[in-house]
Structures are given as structure tokens and as C-alpha cells.
């Protein structure tokens, strides 16, 4: 299936596999739960999900990062800036 072919992971691993539509208005999450697969889907009425950029086409997220992304929080990377003291 798509998980094995594109992500090269075992679907029965217990991880949640998240797929976004091209327009980023829809997300589907596939997860094995012991005796079968659970599929969760969310479609936005307006707007789009804000995804982090990835050159590989796949991203690993923590459950906290995924929850933030699904609730509409834009993913940003913050870098600390240091200035030299005079």
C-alpha cells in the first residue's frame, strides 16, 4: 500500500501515518490498533493546513506537533539570535 511504497514503513508499527491532499484542505491519518486499522479524516471548509517544508516529501512529527498542526497552528522554527556585547 501507500505506506509501504512511499514511506517505506510497516503500517502495523503503531505509528500514525498522515497524508495531506494536494490542496492541503484534507488530511487522513492511518494507524494500526492491534486488530485493525483506524482511519481519521478532517476536511477544512476554508483555508489550508500549514505544513513544514521538507525536501524528502515526508516529515516526522511528535504527537504534540501533529496536534498543533491539526488545530491550525503554523509550524515555525525559531532560532536564537545572539549579539556581541560591546
User: How would you write the pLDDT of the chain (86 residues) with one tens digit per residue?
Assistant: 666 676 677 777 778 888 888 898 999 988 888 888 899 999 989 988 888 777 777 788 888 888 888 887 776 655 556 656 65
Q: Indicate whether this model's pTM tops 0.85.
A: no
Whether 50 maps to a domain, the answer reads yes
**Residue 70 is inside which H or E element, if any?**
helix 63-70
Whether 17 maps to a domain, the answer reads yes
Residues in the chain: 86
For the chain, the C-alpha Rg in angstroms (whole number) is 16
Whether 79 maps to a domain, the answer reads no
The predicted pLDDT at position 41 comes to 93
The predicted pLDDT at position 82 comes to 61
Alpha carbon distances (Å) from 15 to 30, 33, 38, 55, 57: 8, 9, 11, 22, 18
List the domain range (segments joined by +) for residue 66. Answer: 2-70
Domain count across the chain? 1
In DSSP terms, 27 is beta-bridged to 20, 42
Amino acid at each position: 500500500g501507500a505506506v509501504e511504497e512511499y514511506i517505506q514503513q510497516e503500517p502495523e508499527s503503531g505509528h500514525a501515518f498522515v497524508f495531506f491532499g494536494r490542496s492541503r484542505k484534507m488530511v487522513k491519518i492511518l494507524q494500526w490498533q492491534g486488530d485493525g486499522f483506524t482511519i481519521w479524516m478532517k476536511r477544512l471548509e476554508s483555508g489550508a493546513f500549514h505544513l513544514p517544508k521538507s525536501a524528502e516529501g515526508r516529515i516526522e512529527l511528535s504527537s504534540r506537533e501533529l496536534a498543533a498542526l491539526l488545530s491550525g497552528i503554523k509550524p515555525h522554527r525559531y532560532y536564537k539570535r545572539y549579539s556581541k556585547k560591546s
